[in-house]
Structure 1
């Protein structure tokens, strides 16, 4: 059974290009965790059709200081209250992760977008929609296969 570690970014300060030489220790700790991971799953909300400023800031720190996403298998999942299910934020995040200096390996297809989430979670934040649970299981299975393919390709090259 794969191990998943959930990492919050709420305590990482906003990126400051003038302060890159004194980057916060928490940025280096996060970068190390990412480099040690077989893959990274981004669970991202959609704010005005884009990534939240806090996530963009963390990505700027990481891509400026350590580059932990270089060739790292990435899966993006998102949820929204509306019917679009985070489609625009996922496009935005894919562009950021594919940019020079980041160079992540983003899983193609299997965009995991949960729409109308108010109806799909209970009062304890448990996903109760059986078709969404089945779809997520399929996506995570595909991600495990993607990790193997990316890592095998890196070893062979």
Structure 2
């Protein structure tokens, strides 16, 4: 697979604005581990290999265990995640799949039980910005680096 377009070269000012929003969301005061795992979960849902690779590596680099990183996609069945993390994952899934229908009161109440109003805004913006990155990386085929050897792609 080859990248279709270098979007940083094509529109640097706009991508810088997205990067600035990403930085603001990442540095907003949410737990850094949660930030990595939320970005990973949204990227898994969207099928963005570039972002799954990047956020998996960043999470491990910043102290997440390999086991927790591997189990993000199966968070419902794993005992390794706190109630707050579970609420964040459920919110991430719901907002990433926003076209499935309205966000119901019960879903809002469930996440609100674990996040202050300010933190809920921070989490929601974080989810929005990773979805923007996924929606830029996927159609332009951003290719993640091959680490530890040759690509096995056909």
TM-score (norm: length of structure 1): 0.31
Higher strand share: 1
TM-score (norm: length of structure 2): 0.32
Greater relative contact order (Cα < 8 A, sep 6+): 2
Higher helix share: 2
